[in-house]
Amino acid sequence: MTDPLFFGLGSGPDEKVNSFDELKSQLERDFAQSGNLAIDFGPLAMAWDGNVAWCAGDCTISATIGDEQLRLEGRMTAVLRRNGKEWMFAHTHFSMPDREQEAGKSFPDIR
């Protein structure tokens, strides 16, 4: 499911991956630091042209960290590339809205 030329970004400051091997290491870290881990997507907007497709939408990450349940409301984008009959992820980006920025404002307040 992952393109050999994959690169992507996560929500943490060091979550930048530039290869399949780096993605694998990032996912191993994610699973090592959590008990149960699930990501739900939607609603998503999707489009494609030829051998490239892209999507964007909301995502909810649910994880067990120690004895605590964590729920993060975020956003994701992805680019997929068709290789024959298969669609493979070439790029993903996960982020969470800035909690300091109020709805309706383009920038957080400077304090």
Structure confidence by residue, pLDDT tens digits, 51-61: 999 999 999 98
The CATH code of the domain that includes 44 is 3.10.450.50
Instruction: Please indicate, yes or no, if residue 100 is contained in any of the structural domains.
Output: no
Each residue's pLDDT tens digit, 9-53:
888 888 999 988 998 898 888 888 888 888 899 899 999 999 999
Neighbours of 31 (CB within 10 A): 12
> Looking at the 3D structure of the chain, how many domains does it have?
1
Q: Taking a C-beta distance cutoff of 8 angstroms, is the pair 20, 90 a contact?
A: no
Structure tokens belonging to residue 80: 């997929």
Instruction: State the residue range of the domain holding 59.
Output: 2-95
0.75 cut: is pTM over it? yes
Instruction: Please indicate, yes or no, if residue 45 is contained in any of the structural domains.
Output: yes
